Structure 1
């Protein structure tokens, strides 16, 4: 028998689907794929009502065994198998075991390495986002030992990746709600990483010393002084946000669009489309000031609202993964996404003078629903972000002011 380690945050353990009570359920606004076994089970069901529904609402595509068919959405963009209470007729008629892999697992995700497994949830689910963001211990991670006949077929989780992931998590934990300081510290860590080899013990020791120095600087508040030297580039802020807005506005029928659009309208980027660069920069500068003066004080009473989000991103993304993007590139993308979320929080406070936990949950779940629901959506979204790097990843520092 082989021993594997399972990691699971508390919010994952607590998750249970809330069914018809969900503010925006997962059976609408998305393409729902069916595996071959599930599609045939519904199309050949002994129950006439299920078979009739399947014949009407299933389109067989045969793209792969896992993607054998697709559920046709009705005129309102909802799954044809929902009843008037937005509950699944398959679940009610054939039982939970009859649900397709997609329907039975969402929003659960298992990230597998050869000897490790990381259970998580996708934040495109409102209930998953609520559990993560509103509970102080939501990202408290438990470890369990599993016995298996074989190791996973995935690659080994290298010690260097584990070390970097832990360092980034600890740096973000040190900064509290001042997340830009944590991102700045991680940027400096990544710059040091570019100059060392993780295969060399002396170089790894240098990296650890850099981490300890950065951690100490965060704890003492010294990072703020270092960040004063960064020249803000507010026109880059506007261009990046406007491009992300354009990407999202191309998805009017997608799940999360109506919720996200309510906050995006408050940001009101469209009003500046025909304005000069100085006007665009001025709005971004005002938002940056409002973040410091009004939004951060509102978050101080519940620092886990933002802290848990960044701990989730580091955990869920295995950040900074050394097998996909370069660490600085991965950090640029994360910082860019935070720029959008941050400005929407500012726009909400500017408009109403208030910021509820529901606002934070709504912004984050709808953002993830539109941009990170699946790999294709993420890749397309990142292509838009990549267009504004000013030819280098280090331009991310201009996004922290």
Structure 2
């Protein structure tokens, strides 16, 4: 089978108890049917503890979501005091459920190509992205999926054989152009994001009108636009509108805080955000932000490749999902939104640290923010619907967030 994956995919290795956080706290742990039945057949002292920790999912049962762990204070009851898994210790790796065997790996099959990636909600994955100070590239290889991967793909992430091949080709070409643009270091990150939005708007028209025969000409025209010096230079005429940006980001953070499960590190970075602005009036907030942002941009220049990696990560992970949704607008809108929030959160952390920031701080912000966003489709979907309803998805509005 053809497998596409980022070069860092095979670099990942779980570091277990050495991790700064754990993947066994703070979210639902789904158990597949095969693992559940295997647990029921176990014998001995540990068997009772294991089966007492598992409950059947009788509401919307599937083969992959057949049961779940009964969390205690949001924690898996089989996570011991040393941050190690009692299933692994007592029964071995083969007894881990699919969820625990796969995470943070994600595998999606589109037609005859399987795409592998990693979730940024894992601190070790965030570390890899932060430490990768060169263009992220991708390898296409022929390899077989193991049994767990095959089951995961078949039951959860697959676009069937009758997928729209013309749409697939459009998304493949669009993603390729977008990643190339994202790694075009000669222009600032915020300009790259605006140009990504321009690409999306042109391609979304082709998708909506099924004009796939115009793809080649559109790609040529888009390439001419995004490499045109006058177009790139004209973006400098766009003024910052920090009042709208900060109000919007504050609204989203508060909304997410009230939406459901979060994590302690998210509350820490939210405290940093509140520390930056506090109870100040709007005039003072805008003045502070203008001064701080200019200083932060200069300071963060040495880390700007991390923003680039984050953008490429999102483009690779989400672009091809448009095969099912036909909504490329959502992918780019959410990307720009997440970028603008992460930048403000990093600025707030930098401010709290006396205008200093190390890689561990950046890792903390990236993975903790990813945990409360990327694993909550309901929140993302509700937010997107409201943004569309208020017509905040325009190029002009997203330019304010990116700028």
Counterpart mapping for 1:336-351 below 5 A: 336-351=337-352
Q: TM-score, normalised by structure 2?
A: 0.84
Match of 2:305 in 1: 304
Counterpart mapping for 1:129-140 below 5 A: 129-137=126-134, 139-140=136-137
Deviates more, 1:186-195 or 1:312-321: 186-195
Structure 2 CA distance, aligned partners of 1:320 and 1:223? 30
Q: What is the total number of aligned residue pairs between the two structures? A: 385
> Is the counterpart of residue 249 in structure 1 residue 257 in structure 2?
yes
Higher percent of residues as helix: 2
- Secondary structure of the 1:129 match is helix
| CA drift at 1:31 | 1.3
Match of 1:160 in 2: 170
C-alpha distance after superposition, 1:268-315 (max 9, x if no partner): 18966795xx43xx6356435533x32333333344322111111111
For residues 108 and 74 of structure 1, do their structure 2 counterparts lie closer, same or farther at Cα, with a shift above 3 Å needed? same
> Is the counterpart of residue 33 in structure 1 residue 30 in structure 2?
yes
- Secondary structure of the 2:136 match is coil
- Secondary structure of the 2:106 match is strand
Match of 2:202 in 1: 192
Unaligned runs of 5+ in 2: 146-153
Match of 2:148 in 1: none
> Is the counterpart of residue 207 in structure 1 residue 221 in structure 2?
no
Match of 2:274 among 268, 274, 297: 268
8 Å contact kept, 1:328–1:394: no
Q: TM-score, normalised by structure 1?
A: 0.85
- Secondary structure of the 2:65 match is coil
C-alpha distance after superposition, 1:149-206 (max 9, x if no partner): x9973535521111111111111111468211101112222343456567454x3343
For residues 357 and 379 of structure 1, do their structure 2 counterparts lie closer, same or farther at Cα, with a shift above 3 Å needed? same
Deviates more, 1:107-116 or 1:389-398: 389-398
For residues 98 and 210 of structure 1, do their structure 2 counterparts lie closer, same or farther at Cα, with a shift above 3 Å needed? same
Structure 1 CA distance, aligned partners of 2:52 and 2:328? 48
Counterpart mapping for 1:265-344 below 5 A: 265-268=271-274, 275=281, 278-279=282-283, 283-284=285-286, 286-287=288-289, 290-291=292-293, 293-318=294-319, 321=322, 323-324=324-325, 326-344=327-345
For residues 107 and 368 of structure 1, do their structure 2 counterparts lie closer, same or farther at Cα, with a shift above 3 Å needed? same
Match of 2:150 in 1: none
Cα RMSD of the aligned pairs, angstroms, is 3.1
Structure 1 CA distance, aligned partners of 2:350 and 2:22? 27
Structure 1 CA distance, aligned partners of 2:372 and 2:76? 18
| CA drift at 1:18 | 0.7
Structure 1 CA distance, aligned partners of 2:95 and 2:327? 42
Unaligned runs of 5+ in 1: none
